Amino acid sequence: MRLGVIGYGLRISYIFPEIVSEELGYRIVAIADLRSEELQAKLGSRAEGVRFFEDADTMLEEAELDGVIIGTRCNLHTEMAIKVLRRNLPLYLEKPVATKYEDLYRLKAAYEASRSEVVVSFPLRNTPLVTLAKEIVDSGKIGTIEHVQAVNNVPYGGVYYHSWYRDDSITGGLFLQKATHDFDYINCLLGLKPIEVCAMKSKQIFKGDKPAGLKCVDCEENRTCEESTLKPANLDRGDYCSFAVDTGNEDSGSALLKYETGMHVSYSQNFFARRGAERRGARLLGYKGTLEFDWYKSELKVYMHHEPRVETHVIDANVLDGHGGGDGKLVRNFLECVRGRERSATTLGDGLLSALLCLKANESAETKSFQRIEWNDR
């Protein structure tokens, strides 16, 4: 299979590390990226046989592709995806699928007019923990889910303030960066339609009066600051000061989601938790029992409410690939979609709904209002 990449960034190079995979049966034959010379130097001999393009249109016209992978920065996802959808090619699309309402509606229209099979990068619903949770929920063992408490305490949150992610005009904010994953797996587990959201966000830590554009290496406090990227624990976070006046993104946020049955979900995310405070997972409560899981512990528990029993399931994290075992399943599903043997397990419809929830959460937080989850013409 001949694959093309639009934006060969860190995420794409991580989940498609091999330019040629005989085992999986694909070859990346074309890359469209403004950093083509830099990429060729970085890939070295692995770039042999790969054509590099300065723009996506030329690559799509000339490369004779079987499928396309999009890994550009977030604000370009929609524009690049529409180019592929118009050609009806199988597409692997990084999240978030859109960062503003205008793009979301443009992408929705293009998807509805296209025959492309689209796999959105939502690895969490593919992980063994969520797969097991879904089996238990669907079995009725703990009863109908009537409340969910979900949390994401991010221990590597500095990356959203030191690197290009600090520019929220590119990221769309951290609901779109992180909660988009969590909203998706919650929707998957519930199998219900979200109808309303209210949210709040705050920026209490990563703010300050350091000059715009300041890099840690040039700061006089770089030996004492806990967030200094000169410290070994922070070396891969980026270059810029996280306490400068040009640092964007909130550093915590919470949302309440109401679903069609009347039940609701509480979700909270935080970007300055460290060490043992890390947590990502959820509690799902039914009348018969409560199910909870945490990716950092790689563990799922079921508490039965009416009998003295607690079940514990431990997933062997040592045998899992990225995102708790979800990345590999995403790649394999996409490749089977290219072959025409499978349908997407994480569709663009799922991506559009999750992005809509995130945009509505942002709007709710900014306007201090409840927001209906519906596709209004804009």
d(CA 2, CA 18): 13
- Would you say 370 and 199 are in contact if contact means Cβ atoms under 8 Å apart? no
CB 303 within 8 A of CB 283: no
Beta bridge partners, 21, equal 26
CB 360 within 8 A of CB 197: yes
Query: How many angstroms separate the Cα of 38 from the Cα of each of 52, 157, 182?
Result: 11, 27, 34
Q: For the chain, first and last CA: distance in Å?
A: 39
pLDDT < 70 regions, the chain: 377-378
Identify the residue whose tokens are 């920026």: 203
Instruction: Return the half-sphere exposure (C-beta side, CA atoms, 13 A cut-off) of residue 138.
Output: 9
Other C-beta atoms lying within 10 Å of the C-beta of residue 141? 15
CA neighbor of 150 nearest in space, from 20, 282, 41: 282
Domains annotated for the chain, with CATH where assigned, are 2-122+327-345 (3.40.50.720), 124-206+249-320+355-372 (3.30.360.10), 208-246 (no CATH)
Could you tell me where the beta strands, DSSP code E, fall in the chain?
2-6, 20-21, 26-32, 51-53, 67-70, 91-93, 118-120, 147-153, 194-202, 252-259, 264-270, 279-285, 289-294, 299-304, 310-314, 371-372
Closest CA to 279 of 269, 294, 299: 294
The predicted pLDDT at position 377 comes to: 58
Distance CA 361, CA 341 (A): 37
What does the alpha-carbon distance between residue 92 and residue 33 come to, in Å, rounded to a whole number?
A: 16
| φ, ψ of residue 238 in degrees (nearest 5) | 135, -170
Q: Where are the alpha helices (DSSP H) in 95-151?
A: 101-112, 128-139
Asked whether the CA dihedral 266, 270, 274, 278 is positive or negative, the reply is positive
Angle between helices 180-190 and 348-367 (to 10 degrees): 120
DSSP string, 241-306: -TTBTT--S-SEEEEEEEETTS-EEEEEEESS--GGG-EEEEEEE-SSEEEEEETTTTEEEEEESS
How many Cα atoms within 13 Å fall on the side-chain side of residue 255? 30
Question: pTM for the full model?
Answer: 0.95
Identify which of 241, 119, 98, 235 has the alpha carbon closest to the alpha carbon of residue 177. Answer: 98
